[in-house]
Amino acid sequence: MKIMNLVWLAASAGLLGGCGGGGDGQASNDTPDPPTTILSAYSFEIGGVQAGTDMVVDVGGQFQVGVDLGDTLRGSVNLQVNSPTNVSFLDFVTDAGSTMAVAVAGSETDLDGEFTINITSDVVAGVGDEPTSGVFEVVTAADTTTVMVVANGVELSLDGAAAIPFSWDDYDDLLDDDQAATWQRRASLAGGTFAFIFERMFEIADLLDGLEQTESATPIVTACDEFQGTPPAGVLLQGEHVFTRLGSGEDLSPGDVFDWTFTNCWFASSNTLIDNFMQMQNYIEVIDSSNTLTRIGFGPDNNISGGVLYFDWCFDETEENQGVYTIDPVDRIEINGGFSMLFTQP
């Protein structure tokens, strides 16, 4: 779904500078700690943060998508580890058996209602890229649509009927095509929702190796791009984002909480404006006796709740005409709720 296929804006580059590689939560004395070993592959889990609906996404004021994650999205991810301070995510596999429940409301169309996304064959994708293989089903009370990933697109089949091929662009466009069959539009929405959840997870995952650079109670304030002209009505010429670690000491420690607030934060490269607040609760980090990172993420642990939470967090697409910028409310994404995420040694 095009409106939900958002590209992360690399705010972490200005936010954290270098990368930390994950500390052990112990203050260094005279002898620096040896660098932590980062593995080249980890298993992942994406889970819910509350009973019932975990995340609600308002799409341009046109409809709302509610997602109930439960504790059921699992798989593995491959990393490129150049050093403990230079780590990037390469590709990932969502395991067969993973599932999520979705509810659509407010569309005033046949899309309103509930469906489940069931992964029936491992879905393989590069981080930030379209999948290269895999199969999932979109199941309602009335029918089942099979979405099979093929070269350069997907094939859609309703209740076992002959498959219909679509390019990736055409598959994305189905959602907004009033002439398309409802089951095809729902399949497009399901694919966009699936991609949206993983985009959010990897946004946060990209921050993990730099969190050690933060200091408790010392906010990191980063200026955003300045509008090269007249900003949209009510928007600052140059906004900022502020990242703060709320911890009990100077060093990064398990259980820490991170606040990230965006105020009219505009990114010229994508013409995107971000506003409002997100929080990463209950940092999890386990390093074993061989100094290998075995668990990392945000979520419930040691009887403490946790996860990544969004509070009216908005993406707005801006448009420029003769030096004057405006916002089309149809292109606004607003997120509330969140998810837990954990990477573990395979």
CA dihedral 184, 189, 193, 199 (to 10 degrees): 100
- Check if the beta carbon of residue 99 is closer than 8 Å to that of residue 67: no
Is the alpha carbon torsion for 159, 167, 5, 318 positive or negative? negative
| Amino acid found at 64 | Q
Distance set, CA 65 to CA 51, 182, 312 (Å): 16, 16, 14
> What is the pLDDT at residue 30?
52
Instruction: Give the percent of the chain with pLDDT over 90.
Output: 77
Residue 69 has pLDDT above 90, yes or no: yes
Whether 161 maps to a domain, the answer reads: no
- In 3D, which of 134, 54, 94, 123 has the Cα closest to residue 309? 54
Distance set, CA 290 to CA 37, 211, 254, 287, 293 (Å): 8, 22, 19, 8, 9
Counting Cβ atoms within 10 Å, is residue 107 exposed (0-12), middle (13-18) or buried (19+)?
Answer: middle
Instruction: Give the percent of the chain with pLDDT over 70.
Output: 91
Q: Distance (Å, rounded) from C-alpha 211 to C-alpha 8? A: 18
Rounded to an integer, the average pLDDT of 294-313 is 95
Indicate the helix (H) or strand (E) that contains 178.
Answer: none
DSSP class of residue 282 equals S
The first and second tokens of residue 26, run together, are 């112990």
- In 3D, which of 339, 277, 305, 331 has the Cα closest to residue 68? 339
- In 3D, which of 135, 280, 285, 150 has the Cα closest to residue 209? 285
Rounded to an integer, the average pLDDT of 136-164 is 97
Local structure of 259: helix, strand or coil: strand
Q: Distance (Å, rounded) from C-alpha 71 to C-alpha 115? A: 17
Whether 152 maps to a domain, the answer reads: no
Identify the domain containing residue 90 by its residue range. Answer: 2-27+34-95+195-344
> What is the pLDDT at residue 25?
40
Whether 107 maps to a domain, the answer reads: no
Q: Any residues with CB less than 8 A from the CB of 195 and at least 6 apart, and which?
A: 1, 4, 5
> What is the pLDDT at residue 137?
98
Residue 90 has pLDDT above 90, yes or no: yes
Whether 100 maps to a domain, the answer reads: no
Residue 225 has pLDDT above 80, yes or no: yes
Q: How many helices (H) and strands (E) does the chain have?
A: 3, 20
Q: Distance (Å, rounded) from C-alpha 143 to C-alpha 134? A: 20
Whether 222 maps to a domain, the answer reads: yes
- Check if the beta carbon of residue 13 is closer than 8 Å to that of residue 222: no
> What is the pLDDT at residue 32?
65
Whether 186 maps to a domain, the answer reads: no
> What is the pLDDT at residue 338?
97
Q: Distance (Å, rounded) from C-alpha 280 to C-alpha 245? A: 9
Question: How would residue 155 be classed by pLDDT, with cut points 50, 70 and 90?
Answer: very high
> What is the pLDDT at residue 31?
64
Rounded to an integer, the average pLDDT of 293-306 is 93
Averaged pLDDT of the chain: 89
Residue 45 has pLDDT above 50, yes or no: yes
Residue 150 has pLDDT above 50, yes or no: yes
* Angle, alpha carbons 146-159-195 (nearest 5°): 20
* Angle, alpha carbons 338-342-346 (nearest 5°): 155
Q: Per the structure, how many domains does the chain have?
A: 1
| Amino acid found at 18 | G
Classify 337 in phi/psi space as left (phi over 0), alpha (psi -120 to 50) or beta.
Answer: left
Whether 80 maps to a domain, the answer reads: yes
Residue 19 has pLDDT above 80, yes or no: no
The model's pTM is: 0.89
> What is the pLDDT at residue 344?
97
> What is the pLDDT at residue 3?
33
Whether 150 maps to a domain, the answer reads: no
Number of other residues whose CB lies within 10 A of the CB of residue 165: 14
